[in-house]
Amino acid sequence: MKKALIFLMITALAAAMCLPACAAEADRTLTLVNPGNTVPADWSVDLVGIGNGHKVDRACYNDLMEMLAACKAAGHTPAVKSSYRTQNAQKQLYENKVRQWKGYGYSEEEARKQAATIVAIPGTSEHQLGWAVDIVDDRYHSLNEKQATMPTQIWLMEHSWEYGFLLRYPVGKSEVTGIIYEPWHYRWVGRDNARAIYESGLCLEEYLERQAVRESVRGAIGEQYGAIARQICEILVKKTLPASVMKP
């Protein structure tokens, strides 16, 4: 009975050693694309049309359709102004913005810096993931801060997380995201993630940084726990097994 109990204790400890240190599998829906993180080289999209020539990845299609339908049912007029973009499409938008800033008298270098705060450099746009959409109030299509005062945007800011979407570039977060306040750009991350991020009050970069810190702490604790568990196992083995068995 004693030997069986000791065996179970050793087995349980050995099994427990690896649990805290095991890192959670990366969540693809939280893929970070921003000025410092490009779209993964192996990224692929499964595009589905949503009307008016717009397309999104199939993964977010149902959530997007439900969100737009709910917004309309609430008496509003949402209109998708931009959706999935290819690398070439993003490049064209960016270069057009660079030319605009150069027309204001900026140097090539400064024009590119200014343009990048408004239109993402090709390869760093969430639109290339197929999970981002620009949604405007159909009564006001201009992409400026006035968009935030429109009934459609007020509803979306309050409810988009319920359908798995984040207001990706919220007010006051430009220094973190590297992008100006855009009260029209919504990014799909899945409903569970959207709820967690919305309730945290953080933007995606901040949320992922906090999660990384938690994983780092969890990993450190796991290593310490594993070392202690191994020591306990060694002590138990030495105290319970015959000396002849312990000899090499």
Catalytic residue IDs? 182
Question: CA distances (Å), 18 to each of 111, 208, 210, in order?
Answer: 52, 24, 23
Dist. CA 103–CA 158, nearest whole Å: 38
**DSSP conformation letters of 136-158:** EETTB---SGGGGGSHHHHHHHH
**What is the Cα–Cα distance from 83 to 80, expressed in whole angstroms?**
7
136 alpha carbon, distance to own chain's centre: 22
DSSP string, 8-56: HHHHHHHHHHHTTTPPPPP-GGG---BTTBPPPTT----EEEEETTEEE
